[in-house]
Amino acid sequence: MSICQGRTVGLARVAAGFLVLAALFLAGCRSGFSSEEAVVTVTAGRPTIPVTPSQGATASLPRPTDTPVSITPTPEPASTQTAVPAPTSTPHPLFPYTIPGLQARDFFGGPIEIQATLEQNENFSRYAIAYPSDDLTVTGIMHVPAGTDPFPVLILLHGYIDREQYFAGADTWQAAEFFARRGYLVLAPDLRSWGESDTGLSLFHTGLVVDVLNLIGSLASLPDADPSRLGLWGHSMGGGIVTKVLAVDDRAQAAVLYAPNSADDADLIARWGAGCLPGQSEATGDHCNPAEIIPPDTPPGLIDAYLTAAADPDFLRQVAPLFHLENIDAPVQIHVGTADGQSLVETPVDWSAKLAAALQSAGQDVAYFTYEGQGHFFTGESWNILLDRALTLFEDQLK
């Protein structure tokens, strides 16, 4: 900061001289002003998905007037600086297929339509149904019990079966009849690409999860159903889907996992590989998982991202419910035979033990049952015990 001091020499005797010097004073003397730099604070949000940066505030300090000065200058405009938003992170192309990605969605489903009446008896009526799941149509079987509605609802999910051998109700019809006779409205969807359902993309089984979530969203269209009383049952692959549904959605009040897939997707990939790409087939010796659905028209960039993600342990934690068990609110039963997993297509008993231990460590309500000598499909008295234990859970939570 500098101050120019003017000097004025008076010539008392010569008026003209006084005027000259006064003119020199006005021309040569300049007032100096000081200013501190304006402080601009820019606060940007940490890049997340999505990023909403907070705008920086702009401010400037007024320039003080130097004294003594007889001339008041026009203040210079205060300088401002515009905050620059932080760059937005590019979402991972597979974010929609993660647990957080699914949680960010809404699943409203649509009307459940009866396609045909298949059976009517004194205990229940059995129907062929269809409902919308995103832009697909998913078919399935519905059992409506005799009696006074509305009824508590059970959704039963089938395991992996060769699509050529699958039929509506396969892997679920026995349990469906058991529960329908006891007053439950039972739905068993043909998950996408099975039965008469449409085929659509499913990476890390999330397409199948979406089909279940849309079915839950569709329950309100059934006058006989009470959507507020909902239980889930899943066998093998279906058990793994139930676990993912529980980690995404809190509308179910109870769940039964019967010889389930691992809740850690890394286990599934280690045992069966990533999904079969167009032209690949597990039946012809390719190490790939046919339960994944990758249609021929899948964009190559998405396939590349999927294969990279399937080999990335950090990413797999985002799709595996094992690392999101804090989201689960419902009590869970796990049932597994000690002889399961001896065939490559079966589920090792260690997977069930791993999930049970993790649920217990997370403080969740879990009951873990093993059945000596039973394989991937229970028979005899073990099957009856499984049904009775599952019924006890559903009766406690839904009635």
Domain locations in the chain as residue ranges:
95-398
The backbone region for 248, taken as left when phi is positive above 0, alpha when psi lies in -120 to 50, beta otherwise, is: alpha
**Whether the Cβ atoms of residue 80 and residue 66 lie closer than 8 Å to each other:** no
Q: Over the stretch 138-196, which tens digit does the pLDDT of each residue have?
A: 999 999 999 999 999 999 999 999 999 999 999 999 999 999 999 999 999 999 999 99
Q: 373-385, pLDDT tens digit by residue? A: 999 999 999 999 9
Phi, psi of 370 (to 5 degrees): -110, 150
pLDDT at 388: 98
- pLDDT of 11 reads 32
Write down the pLDDT at residue 86: 55
Give me the residues of the chain with pLDDT under 70, please. 1-88
Greatest alpha-carbon pair distance for the chain in Å reads 133
Number of Cβ within 10 Å of residue 174's Cβ equals 12
Please name every residue paired with 136 in a beta bridge, in sequence order, or none if there are none. Answer: 133
Q: CA 329, CA 192: separation in Å to the nearest integer?
A: 27
| pTM to 2 decimal places | 0.79
- DSSP letter at 391? H
- Rounded Cα distance, 98 and 260, in Å: 20
What pLDDT sits at residue 283?
86
d(CA 183, CA 129): 19
What is the per-residue pLDDT for 155? 99
At 78 the pLDDT is 46
Within 10 A of 123 (CB to CB), how many other CB atoms are there? 14
Q: Which residues contact 224 (CB under 8 A, 6 or more apart)?
A: 144, 149, 150, 151, 185
**How many angstroms from the chain centroid is the CA of residue 370?**
31
Q: Are 47 and 87 in contact (CB under 8 A)?
A: yes
Structure-token pair, residue 365: 């309500």
Helix (H) or strand (E) holding 317: helix 313-319
CATH code for 95-398?
3.40.50.1820
Tokens of 303: 């396939």
Q: How many CA atoms lie within 13 A of 106 on its CB side?
A: 2
Residue 373 zone, left/alpha/beta (φ > 0; ψ -120 to 50; rest): left
How far, in whole angstroms, is CA 158 from its chain's centroid?
A: 22
